Structure 1
Amino acid sequence: MIRCLAVDDEAYASDIIASFISKTPFLELVGTTTNAFEALNMVQNGLVDLVFLDIQMPELTGIQFMKICGDKCRVILTTAYPEYALDGFEFDVVDYLLKPISYERFYKAAQKAQQIISPAQVEIVTPPAPTSDFIFIKGDTKNKFIKVNYNEILYIEGLKNYVSVYTANQRIITYQSLRELETQLPQPPFYRVHKSYIISLDRIKMIDGNALYINDQSIPIGDTYREGFFKVIRESK
């Protein structure tokens, strides 16, 4: 097992990485922290093999962190700023993940780390499917999370700066990205049918041409997603 630490000055961001680590068979989560100095102490005490490290942190930047750590651990950088990629690779980082991070992209980076840190243990593994029947959706204030059962979700709509999750009884607004939510939802029953929509196949009332209907809501089927969507529909008969 590769011992992992998630470091980000935003607790929500490190919690996402932690959830990805926890469901990856060859990774072990040893902790999350928003304090770069706490993370540095854990690395220097030999408690960590791999750090998922945010570059922009107030007390100690990711670049400074790597300079101090040297070769005591391997690093996968996580950031919202692509311009730092070159700086990161000068320190021989394993990979560079651009936020928002999908589980698929995370898993590829983790496999790279496995090949470097534990090459004898490398095997081709399909990412595990979600085992829970609910999801925690980040609310509209800091540290607010709303538990929603999968079977309550009708569809999810991505707008310019936020995402709306629709259930039969409420609309939940979250600042998570649509892609981030997509990686956390089981497929099926959830399926991306448009760049702006994820729907529950269980909730479809009717499909008519280039649109499907959930309750009275018409949802477009995008050109990019049409072939895959109708393949799923045919196979579900």
Structure 2
Amino acid sequence: MIRCIAVDDEAYAGKLLADYIQKVPFLELVGTTTSPIEAINWVQEGRVDLVFLDIQMPELTGIQFMKICGGKCKVILTTAYPEYALEGYEHDVVDYLLKPIPFDRFLRAAHKAQGMMPQQQTPTVASAAPAPVAPAPAPEYMFIKGESKNKFLKIDYSDILYVEGLKNYVSVFLRSERIVTYQTLRDLDEQLPQPPFYRVHKSYIISIDKVRMVDGNTVYIGDKSIPVGETYREGFLKMIREKEQQ
């Protein structure tokens, strides 16, 4: 097991990382803290193998934290600011996660850390078969950027009807409201699980579960009619026919 802590001066961000850590079978959550000073004490006491570390904090920056710890643990940096990536890699960090952090990206970083940890020597028993490891459950939600720099909104996948892209921002249409976020449709397409989400047009991603009717090259979700683009038509109709036969 890899003993982990999450260090972030914003408590909700630390809680999200803690939730992610607890979903991964080979990670063990030692604790979360908003204080880098407290986290340094845990590292110095030898209680930590891996730190998920925010870069911008009022007491100490993440870079200062790593200099003080002197390589006594592995570090995965977390931040909303991509301009710090190069400096982080100069300090030999395991990975660099850009907020909001989707679970699949977190999981890739965790596996990367696992591969960099010293292998523990355990007695081998010829007759003993390795115990199967249950896959980490996929999250049922995501976080998207809000209207201010450090604001993120939690959205349950089950509430999403469809997503419409408009240049450098998208509108996420939920059961009861519409949320505008300054991300690209491509970014969301990479975050949303498939299924139930499917891109049917250069400007639209839909939830298959919410489709009321498909009529030719048009999908209906509630009263909204959504065109199926030529690029996506063949794959979409093939998927619909396969579901019809199930």
TM-score, normalized by the shorter chain, greater than 0.5 = yes
Matched-pair contact (CA < 8 Å) for 1:137–1:174: no
Who is 2:35 aligned against? Answer: 35
Who is 1:128 aligned against? Answer: 136
Matched-pair contact (CA < 8 Å) for 2:189–2:199: no
Instruction: Provide the alpha-carbon RMSD of the alignment.
Output: 3.9
1:76-120 Cα distance to aligned partner (Å, 9 max, x none): 111222222221122111111223322222222111100011546
Deviates more, 1:15-24 or 1:46-55: 15-24
Who is 2:63 aligned against? Answer: 63
1:19-64 Cα distance to aligned partner (Å, 9 max, x none): 3222222112222222222222222222221111111112110100
Matched-pair contact (CA < 8 Å) for 1:206–1:212: yes
Larger radius of gyration: 2
| Residues 189/60 of structure 1: CA separation in 2 closer, same or farther (3 Å cut) | same
Matched-pair contact (CA < 8 Å) for 2:7–2:54: yes
Question: C-alpha separation between the residues in 2 aligned to 1:224 and 1:206?
Answer: 20
Task: Give yes or no for the alignment of 1:164 onto 2:172.
Answer: yes
TM-score normalised according to structure 2 size: 0.72
1:174-225 Cα distance to aligned partner (Å, 9 max, x none): 7696757974x65433334456644321221223455421011123446675
Who is 1:26 aligned against? Answer: 26
TM-score normalised according to structure 1 size: 0.74
Matched-pair contact (CA < 8 Å) for 1:82–1:98: yes
Query: Where do 5+ consecutive residues of structure 2 fail to align?
Result: 122-132
Who is 2:108 aligned against? Answer: 108
Matched-pair contact (CA < 8 Å) for 1:166–1:172: yes
Question: C-alpha separation between the residues in 1 aligned to 2:99 and 2:152?
Answer: 20
Aligned identity (percent) is: 61
Question: C-alpha separation between the residues in 1 aligned to 2:10 and 2:203?
Answer: 26
Partner amino acid for 1:214?
A: I
Q: In structure 2, the residue corresponding to 1:57 is in which secondary structure?
A: coil
Task: Give yes or no for the alignment of 1:218 onto 2:218.
Answer: no
Partner amino acid for 1:164?
A: V
Q: In structure 2, the residue corresponding to 1:58 is in which secondary structure?
A: coil
Question: C-alpha separation between the residues in 2 aligned to 1:2 and 1:199?
Answer: 38
